[in-house]
Amino acid sequence: MWTARARESWQKNLPIEKLIPDTQPAYVVSWIYVFGVLTIAALSVIIISGLALAFAGPAWYHTSDFGHWVNSLHFWSVQLFFAFMVIHLWGKFWMAAWRGGRIKTWISGAVVFVLSIATGFTGYLIQTNFDSQWIAYEAKDGFNSAGIGAFFNVTNLGQMLLLHVAFLPAVLGLLTLIHVLMVRKRGVVPPIDANSSNTEASR
């Protein structure tokens, strides 16, 4: 049965020691390593503040002080999310973190980055204020010129609203999860210039 095989494969590739490890290779000592988890932490604040905003409808924050504060939480968590994610990306680039069969990990992370820009963009479109009027009018030309506007109509508030709160975060969340599981499965990439003889010597 494929169901039994799926369980076995999970057990083999991601046992609890890998999924929730209690040790790390000794070279994992740098502040640069915290930016991945900081990005995820910012994403979780984005999701929680976003759910609060969604609960009362898209125009709530214009008229309620509390709503405006929740909007501010959403705004700043997005700013931090992008800052942390870009620093994480810089760090992983200079570590050449795709080495040792980790290419798919890099690809999934880079796709998350691009998709985050799209998701953030739909957020700017559903602010229902001057900013979103302006962005919708300006941005439509780029999408229309490439034929994308026919399916992804940035001037359609309803479509952007639903994409921003349903489809895009679902895909983003799933890809983030896959990205993290890939990191856990393969472990943190060894230092550039580390080799087996060094490792043997260190034993």
Partner 1 sequence: MSGWISNFMNHPATYLKAGWVQISVSNLIVILLMLTVFALAIFIPFPNEDSGKGKK
Partner 2 sequence: MSKNLSPKEVFDAKPWTGKLRSYDIIKEGTIAVVVVALLVVSLSFLFGSPDEKSLTFKGWAESNSDNFYATAVQELAGTSGTATYGRPYNEGSDGLNVGPLFLQKWAGVTHRIDAANNFVIEPLMNQVQTPEVKAALTQWSQASVDARTKWATTYDDAITKAEGKLSAIPAGEYGPVPALANGLTQMAKAGSLDAALLSQGGFFQTDSTKQILFFGDGAYLDDAGTAANLQGGTWGMMNETGRYPGQAWLWLYSFWYQIPPFTNEESHPIGANADVYIMVIMGAMSLGLILIPVIPGVRSLPMRIPIHRGIWRSYYQSEGIKRRRK
Q: How far is the CB of 8 from partner 2 (least distance, A)?
A: 19
- Alpha carbons within 13 angstroms on the beta-carbon side of residue 18 total 15
11 binds partner 2 (CB under 8 A): no
The interface partner of residue 10, options being partner 2, partner 1, none and the CB cut-off 5 to 8 Å by kind, is none
The secondary structure of residue 189, as a DSSP letter, is P
Query: CB-side exposure of 56: number of CA atoms within 13 Å?
Result: 14
80 near partner 2, judged by CB under 8 A: yes
| 145 token code pair | 């010129």
Q: What's the half-sphere exposure (Cβ side, CA atoms, 13 Å) at 83?
A: 7
Asked if 202 interacts with partner 2 (CB under 8 A), we say: yes
Q: Which does 87 bind (CB under 5 to 8 A by kind): partner 1, partner 2, none?
A: partner 1
Among 40, 41, 47, 87, binds partner 1 (CB under 8 A): 87
Min dist CB 68 to partner 1, Å, is 5
9 binds partner 2 (CB under 8 A): no
The torsion defined by the Cα of 25, 13, 179 and 32, in degrees rounded to 10, comes to 0
Binding mask 109-148 for partner 2 (x = CB under 8 A): -xx-xx--x--xx--x--xxxxxxxx-xxx-xxxxxxxx-
> Where do the H-state alpha helices sit in 99-195?
103-125, 130-145, 157-162, 168-186
Q: Which helix (H) or strand (E) holds 75?
A: helix 65-94
Q: Is 145 in the site for partner 1 (CB under 8 A)?
A: no
Which of 10, 27, 66, 167 touches partner 2 by CB under 8 A? Answer: 27
Q: Are 89 and 113 in contact (CB under 8 A)?
A: yes
Structure tokens at 78: 């997005």
Interactions with partner 1, residue window 46-75 (CB under 8 A)? 65, 68-69, 72
Q: Considering only 87-95, 137-145, 150-158, 186-194, which stretch makes contact with partner 1 by CB under 8 A?
A: 87-95
CB atoms within 10 A of CB 183: 18
Q: Which of 6, 107, 170, 177 binds partner 2 (CB under 8 A)?
A: 107
Q: Which residues bind partner 1 (CB under 8 A)?
A: 23, 26, 29-35, 65, 68-69, 72, 79, 83, 86-87, 90-91, 202-203
